Amino acid sequence: MNTLVEYTRVPRPTAGVGQVVIRVERAAICGTDILMYKWDPLGQQLVGDLPFIPGHECCGKVVEIGTDVEGLPEGARVCAETHIPCGHCYQCTHKLQHLCQNLVLFGHQIDGCFAEYAMIPASAVYQLSTDLSPEIACLLEPFGVSLRAVEEVAPRGDTLAVTGCGPIGLFAIGIARYMGAAKIIASDINPFRLNLAMTMGADVVVDAGETDLQEAILSQTSGDGVGCIIEASGVPSVINNMFSYLRKGGFIVQVGNPKGPVQITDVMPDLMHKELTLKTVHGRRMFETWEKSEALLSQGKVDITPVITHCFPMKQFDEAFTAVLSGQAGKVQLIPSLGD
Ligand SMILES: [Zn+2]
Ligand SMILES: [Zn+2]
């Protein structure tokens, strides 16, 4: 039982200029929500003023439209883009709104979606164009991060290691399988997650708590190393070691937020002489990534239902967070019910 977080009644938000209010159909718990729930120092850094309503992964229906909002009719089904752009900085005026210099984060610095109703600035609203179920639609936001990670390393016909099998890593495995990766090696230290990785299409899973990951990957790739790495664990020791089992000329995308400083031990052989490409990803392109994600999921190209392991009424949020913290869960979802 967490005493910092409570389920309580607050006034319904209203839609100001350039804003809409949605009735939340379904929401999902993200790793950053866990940091805030535990009031971890990293989580505290993400939060604006207290008290506030957490939650940023959601879908819902527009119920109120503020002035100066175009193209979002009442009843439209939408998702929230967590990154709220300012609209006038360099990035915002060069098609890189998701990297806005003045980014405000939905469910972090402003109230989020673990509620019956949520206000979203219209600039951060993605309108669904299909009848994607709420169960899937509320996961477009994290799915988009995985899609971008896979796009950055482009593993078609190549070997891919996915380190860290939380939801982002698991979605990435499903996408990479669909996109034609030749061999997917997934690693984690949690057997429950490694099972999900197999279900999502990994060819080989490595329990990095039991087996040396570098040895395992080199033996799976004739000693060459993998052509692509999607690093989704954020664990500093995993990041520090990943350069050792990347094939020369390979591609890495760092998608897990590093939980500490990153240090490469053997700089010449593992970094300089590898001529590697290292990319980072921060969120989804607005809104191309959303459109591609919706298409992949609505057309059944990638099935993420195995990753969705729990769903609770929102007032049972403590059970929902406990399920995530148990390590025996994939994505955990919340459904608000009016009037309780
Ligand atoms: Zn998230
Ligand atoms: Zn901006």
Q: What is the pLDDT of residues 241-287, one digit of tens each?
A: 999 999 999 999 999 999 889 899 899 999 999 999 999 999 999 99
| Both structure tokens of 174 | 């499903």
Q: Which helix (H) or strand (E) holds 309?
A: strand 308-313
For residues 88-112, average pLDDT: 97
For residue 48, the CA-to-ligand 2 centroid distance in Å is 18
Q: Give the model's confidence band at 238: pLDDT under 50 very low, under 70 low, under 90 confident, else very high.
A: very high
Instruction: For residues 182 and 159, give the distance between their C-alpha atoms in angstroms, rounded to a whole number.
Output: 6
Mean pLDDT across 135-151: 98
Which pLDDT score is estimated for 251?
98
The reported pTM is 0.97
Q: Which residues keep their CB under 5 angstroms from ion ligand 1? A: 30
Query: Pick the residue with more confidence: 95 or 3?
Result: 95
Centre of ligand 1 from the C-alpha of residue 214, in Å: 29
For domain 19-139+304-335, which architecture applies? Answer: Alpha-Beta Complex (3.90)
Q: Which residues does 27 contact at the CB level (< 8 Å), separation at least 6?
A: 55, 57, 58, 113, 114, 138, 314, 333, 334, 335, 336
Q: Cα of 139 to ligand 1 centre, how many Å? A: 9
Whether the pLDDT of residue 2 is over 80: the answer is: no
Q: What is the mean pLDDT of residues 321-325?
A: 97
Res 270: pLDDT: 95
Angle at the Cα of 289 (from 243 to 247), degrees rounded to 5? 20
Whether the pLDDT of residue 43 is over 90: the answer is no
Among residues 125, 81, 83, 80, the alpha carbon closest in space to that of 104 is found at 83
pLDDT at 74 over 70: yes
Cβ neighbour number for residue 221 with a 10 Å cutoff: 17
Mean pLDDT of the chain: 96
The CA-CA-CA angle for residues 198, 200, 205, to 5°, reads: 30
CA 141 to ligand 1 center in whole angstroms: 7
The rounded Å distance from CA 32 to ligand 1 centre is 6
pLDDT digits (tens, 9 = 90+) for 101-133: 999 999 999 999 999 999 999 999 999 999 999
CA of 106 to the centre of ligand 2 (A): 15
The CATH code belonging to domain 147-280 is: 3.40.50.720
What is the 121 CA–ligand 2 centroid distance (Å)?
Answer: 14
Question: How far does residue 111's CA lie from ligand 1's centre (Å)?
Answer: 14
Neighbours of ion ligand 2 (CB under 5 A): 85-86, 89, 92, 100
- Domains of the chain, by residue range, sit at 19-139+304-335, 147-280
Ligand nearest to the CA of 81: 1
State how far the Cα of 293 lies from the Cα of 311, in Å rounded to an integer: 22
The runs of H, that is alpha helices, within 111-235 are 134-137, 140-153, 167-178, 191-200, 213-220
pLDDT at position 339 is: 56
Give the pLDDT band (50/70/90) at residue 99.
very high
Task: Tell me if 160 sits within 8 A of 230, measured CB to CB.
Answer: yes
Name every residue whose Cβ is closer than 8 Å to that of residue 241 and which is 6 or more positions away in sequence: 213, 214
Task: Give residue 120 CA to ligand 2 midpoint distance, Å.
Answer: 17
For residues 211 and 204, what is the distance between their CA atoms, to the nearest angstrom?
13
What distance in Å separates the CA atoms of residue 183 and residue 336, rounded to the nearest whole number? 40
CA of 73 to the centre of ligand 2 (A): 25
pLDDT tens sequence across 148-179? 999 999 999 999 999 999 999 999 999 999 99
pLDDT at 142 over 80: yes
CA of 269 to the centre of ligand 1 (A): 35
Reduce the secondary structure of 182-210 to three states and give it as a string.
Answer: CEEEEEECCHHHHHHHHHHCCCEEEECCC
pLDDT at 337: 80
What share of the chain in percent tops pLDDT 90? 92
Q: Give residue 77's identity as a one-letter amino acid code.
A: R
Instruction: Find the 8 Cα to ligand 1 centroid distance in Å.
Output: 23
Q: How confident is the model at residue 49 (pLDDT cuts 50, 70, 90)?
A: confident
Ligand 2 center to 147 CA (angstroms): 23
Q: What percent of the chain has pLDDT over 70?
A: 99
Q: Which ligand is nearest to the CA of 107?
A: 1
d(CA 329, CA 306): 11
